[in-house]
Amino acid sequence: MDAQLTRVAREEGGRLLALLADRVGGIDQAEECLQEAYLRAATAWDASGVPDNPAAWVYTVARNAGIDRLRREKASARRIGDQSRALAAGVADEAGRAAGRDGSANADDDHASELVEEYALVGDEQLRLMLLCCHPALAPDVQVALTLRLAGGLTTAEIAAAYLVPEATVAQRIVRAKRKIRDAGIPLTIPADLSERAAVLTAALALIFNEGYLSHTEAAGTLTRTELADQAIRLTATAADALPDEPELGGLLAVELFHRSRERARADADGVLVRLDDQDRALWDRTMVARGYAALSLALAQRRLGPWQVQAMIAAEHTRDQPDWARIVRYYDLLLTLTPGPVAELNRAVAVAEADGPQAGLDALEAIAGLDQYHLLHAARAHLLGRVGRDAEAGAQWRRAASLTRNPSELAFVAARLVETET
Amino acid sequence: MKYLLIIASDPTLPSPAPGDDDFGAYMDAWMAYTEELEKAGAYVGGEALLPADTATTVRHEGGATTIVDGPFVELKEHLGGYYVIDVDTLDDAIGWAKKLPVGTGAVEVRPIMPTGPES
């Protein structure tokens, strides 16, 4: 039962909140109503079982709670303002039923099916919520916390566990963000500059996925990094569906799916990362690979190439039995023309080593500037020096790499991670 | 709601001065902007300021005051002018901030504390 409730919160919470926000007068109010509904669900579902459509049940209870609140506010103070005027119609609808309603979960079947219908029409509202959470007037770490809390339905405790920060920090970040949304007048609307805003949203979703996928810490709390990555995939898929004209969202979704498809093969029984080359491909999730290809081809069909689509092409190449390394090098060349950067150059050099041999890879590494403090540069050089038999120099480079990372477990993974060049 | 658009730019960057060939076009852009704000019903007020080296700061400390030559905060970018606008949302305010004919500089968008019964 609790598991059902958690599932509703994570998979449907954002949609419910988006739908409620418009009807009960804002995000804060919607969140409180939703919490109230979850509390009631915990008791009611225990007593009489989980309803057929748990999300519609929660929505009905939360909306009724919101309407009750608005009515109370209206009675106590006349200044409800614009929000309640927009709500007037909805309140009138409910008035007829109010007499026979005890304020709790009387979602009778007829009414429930009507709500399910209404509930299905909210793609836009969920998009508005995600765009609100990822408003460029909010700092990236705030966007991430707010998106996970409001659109992803995670608790502050779960977010704190995933990011290894104190729960109070996350809670404060969210409170401050909500205050800014209210006081600075950040709107819950589809903006005019949609492409620009979609880019900010894409970046925030990528941050969420990276934390889930790349984090080295196996959950210190209630949320495993796999669940965080899954939540990122869910949110990215929702955004990509709602914004079909933004191919970079599709590109990101494909990258996420390709990476996630290898989850079970990434580590051996002792939890040590396995090089991509050495992974047992039978363990790859073929359904996710197929979803990745579907997302990528939809995105590429728009013929507006961007960095995430190119990274998805690289990740797609890695799903083949024999990756074509020369092609991967060309993809990196393309990526570098779109977004020049030393980390992509490093990944390109690793691909060059696979395509043209370790010496060519070492030459490519020599040309990279600005990564001297980055442990993976030295680890890559160490690996290639080892392959050409320059063991003493390789050892020195390993030591340099070791001195630059603070995470001891990372050292063990360094060699294996290099070949996962697309990340 | 009302927002203050605080316009700041680096005074060492070249900017058209009265008598320059491009000064007319420069001023026209600012006047056109103000006119557009007025037409949209968003204009509340706004002024351009003389350079920061004309500023004097009166500092209050526990009832005592001292007078200091210069602006209250020394930045590379100096406050050059401001608008007060009245629009629906932060997105609208950001839209107006983007349209300002500032060559190179920064615009801070700050909500003005609401007062009175409308808030």
Is the overall model pTM greater than 0.80, yes or no?
Answer: no
Measured between CB atoms, which of A185, A191, A193 is closest to B111? Answer: A185
Flag whether A24 is in a domain. yes
pLDDT of amino acid A220: 39
* Domains of chain B (ranges, CATH numbers): 2-111 (3.30.70.1060)
- Which residue from A minimizes the CA distance to B4? A184
The answer to whether the beta carbons of residues A84 and A25 sit under 8 Å apart is yes
Q: Is the pLDDT of residue A56 over 80?
A: yes
Mean per-residue pLDDT of chain A: 80
Band (A81; pLDDT cuts 50, 70, 90): very low
Q: A76 lies in which domain range?
A: 2-99+109-121
Count structural domains, chain A: 1
Flag whether A36 is in a domain. yes
Q: Quick one: which of A279, A254, A282, A281 has its CA closest to A268?
A: A279
Angstrom distance (rounded) from CA A89 to CA A2: 35
Interface A–B counts its CB contacts (< 8 A) at 27
Contact check, Cβ <8 Å, A185/B117: no
Flag whether A39 is in a domain. yes
Contact check, Cβ <8 Å, B91/A186: yes
Q: Is the pLDDT of residue A355 over 80?
A: yes
For residues A261-277, average pLDDT: 74
**Interface mutation target, options B87, B91, B92, B112, chain A, most CBs of A under 10 Å:** B91
Per-residue pLDDT of B15-74, as tens digits, reads 888 888 889 999 999 999 999 999 999 999 999 999 888 999 999 999 899 998 888 887
Contact check, Cβ <8 Å, A79/B93: no
Q: Is the pLDDT of residue A41 over 80?
A: yes
Contact check, Cβ <8 Å, A187/B111: no
Is the minimum CB–CB distance between B112 and chain A shorter than 8 Å? no
Query: What phi and psi, each to the nearest 5 degrees, are found at residue A273?
Result: -60, 145
Band (A108; pLDDT cuts 50, 70, 90): very low
Flag whether A70 is in a domain. yes
Percentage of residues in chain B with pLDDT exceeding 70?
A: 97
Contact check, Cβ <8 Å, A137/B117: no
Flag whether A356 is in a domain. no
pLDDT of amino acid A294: 95
Q: Is the pLDDT of residue A122 over 70?
A: no
Flag whether A25 is in a domain. yes
pLDDT of amino acid A168: 95
Flag whether A11 is in a domain. yes
Q: Quick one: which of A323, A374, A372 has its CA closest to A351?
A: A323
pLDDT of amino acid B113: 94
Band (A21; pLDDT cuts 50, 70, 90): confident
Is the minimum CB–CB distance between B55 and chain A shorter than 8 Å? no
Structure tokens given for A40: 């009631």
Q: Which of residues 240-259 of A touch B (CB under 8 A)?
A: none
Contact check, Cβ <8 Å, B1/A185: yes
Longest dimension (CA), chain A: 85
For residues A253-276, average pLDDT: 80
For residues A152-169, average pLDDT: 85
